[in-house]
Amino acid sequence: MAFEAMFDTTVQYFISPEVTREAEVVAVICPLVSEEMSDSEQALEAAAIDVENAAELLRLATAAAFSRWRDDKSVTLSKTRRGTVQSSRDIPLFLDGEMMKVGKNAEITFVPMAVKVIVPPNQIS
């Protein structure tokens, strides 16, 4: 029952005409944070997570603990410059650790050079 309540709303996501599906979670990751993209890529990494039951959630959590969540079969990955997320309920958005609601429709667009990130030299791996 608790699991059903946690995932009682799905979101529809539209990354491109070829990638239009439903999922419980859609994560959009910038190239600077993504482990799969180079910092210079001019796109976002979109990860749709579609778990059907508690066992799948546990499998995904275990994979995430070892930084392998992208390899889980419940995860669909895409690179995109633009996307849309829609839901029958308000969509929660986590931005820099803070949660806010963005309504029932969210447009996501990659904006090149929108932010400048400064990293101390000893932090570059």
Please provide the CATH number assigned to the domain covering 2-109: 2.60.200.40
Q: What digits encode the pLDDT tens for the residues 67-104? A: 888 888 888 888 888 888 888 888 888 776 788 888 89
State pTM to two decimals: 0.70
Calculate the alpha carbon distances from 72 to 24, 91, 111 in Å.
15, 24, 29
pLDDT digits 0-9 by tens, 101-121: 888 998 888 888 777 777 777
Exposure on the CB side of residue 71, measured as CA atoms within 13 A: 8
Q: Domain locations in the chain?
A: 2-109
106 CA to centre of own chain: 13
**Strand, helix or coil for residue 61:** helix
For residues 12 and 36, what is the distance between their CA atoms, to the nearest angstrom?
24
Q: By the 8 A CB rule, do 106 and 91 touch?
A: yes
**For residue range 5-17, what is the model confidence (pLDDT) as tens digits?**
555 667 788 877 7
